[in-house]
A = this chain, B = another copy of it.
Amino acid sequence: MHFFSDNATPVCPQVMAAIAAADQADHGYDGDRWSARLDSAFSALFETEVKALWVATGTAANSIALATLCPPYGGILAHEEAHIVIDECGAPGFFTHGATIMPLPGDGAKLTPDTVAAKLKTIRPDVHQSPARALSITQASEYGRVYLPAEVAALGDLARAYGLGFHMDGARFANAVACLGCAPADITWRAGVDALSFGCVKNGGMVGEALLFFGPQAEVRAEDAKRWRKRSGHLFSKGRYLAAQILAMLEGDLWLANARAANAAARALAQAIPARLLHPVEANELFVRLTADEAAQLRTRGFDFYDWGDGAARLVTNWAQDAAAVAPFAAALAALDP
């Protein structure tokens, strides 16, 4: 049983079925029946008018979103361990044509209004300095932490006050919503978010993430994003197969059910080793103290995962698991000397 990454897991059956159902002749690119339904499906889910595009990957969703929010001479405020900062080979720099990433500190890879405001105050309003134009946070964060609605809203207020576009990297947005039990709207547009990378692949999809725009500028930004999508080689010629996957994720709240399973599995593991946790477990990732010997011992027994530097490991649960499924691993963890 592996806990490498939610990427390592198969596609969930409903998504596979949706792909098969979409295997019909239709117009190319995004001219098909499935792509045409994305806006309304997400508008219903988010209780507001949403503009939605499919793109290939989370990196593409994040980068295209940022390109619509920040000019080349602007700055993007983000956590110094954010995926966009350290794990996308500089993709935001590519799509924004060299906008300046402004990395900020923060526990659990979360930003606070204080650190954001402190940075904003150091920027002089002259042409020598890049003006901050966008703020990006990850929900759930790179350490599996979740922003409360009020926390997002406080950052949203700051974004509005300073004229920043507000982007949320939601590679694990479903896990955050499952954790919070809130409406998707509560941690997005109601809290000031302008653009959301809505992750599907980690949550049971095969290929394709959704990029959503909210608010009065949604339409203009979505039109811009369509240009970037084509220009960056992300306008699939058979887009219906992506749209169908995304729609299947929304159908009957499959996205939420999948995330709840993964979160439950993570909680079950966390409860087995509370003293080993490096971060509170709120979504589907655990960062745990684990010696090389202990790791080896677990691997001998058939459990695998990635090391996280010296003396630590990252364990990621996924949609195909739940508390029962991971019970053997929980037991093995609990059995380690404390």
Identify the A interface with B (CB < 8 A). 2, 4-5, 7-11, 16, 19-20, 23-29, 55-61, 63-64, 71-75, 86-101, 103, 127-130, 201-202, 206-207, 226-238, 241-242
Given contacts A7-B28, A89-B127, A229-B127, contact A56 B56 (CB under 8 A): yes
Give chain B residues whose Cβ lies under 8 Å from the Cβ of A20: 16
Within the assembled complex, what's the spacing in Å between the Cα atoms of A7 and B73? 24
Give Cα A16 to B230, complex, Å: 26
> Contact between B201 and A72 (Cβ–Cβ < 8 Å)?
no
CA gap between A234 and B11 in the complex, in Å = 19
Contact across chains for A89 and B237 when beta carbons are under 8 A apart: no
Shortest CB-to-CB span from A33 to chain B, Å, is 12
Q: In the bound complex, what is the Cα–Cα distance between A202 and B19 (angstroms)?
A: 17
Residues in B with CB closer than 8 Å to A202 are 237
The residues of B that contact A75 with a CB separation of less than 8 Å are: 90
Minimal Cβ-Cβ distance residue in B for A26: B8
Please give me the residue from chain B that is nearest to A100 by CB atom: B90
Residues of B contacting A242 with CB < 8 Å? 207
Contact status A10-B28, CB under 8 Å: no
The smallest beta-carbon distance between A74 and chain B, in angstroms, is: 8
**Residue of A16, A93, A236 contacting most chain B CB atoms (<10 Å):** A93
Closest to A13 in B: B23
Task: Identify the closest chain B residue to A12 (Cβ).
Answer: B23
Cβ-defined contact, A98 with B87, below 8 A: no
Asked if B234 contacts A60 (CB within 8 A), the reply is: yes
- State whether B89 touches A99 (Cβ < 8 A): no
Of A90, A99, A234, A238, the most chain B CB neighbours within 10 A belong to A90
Inter-chain contacts of A55 with B (CB < 8 A): 233
Known A-B contacts A72-B97, A207-B241; A91 and B7 likewise in contact (beta carbons under 8 Å) = no
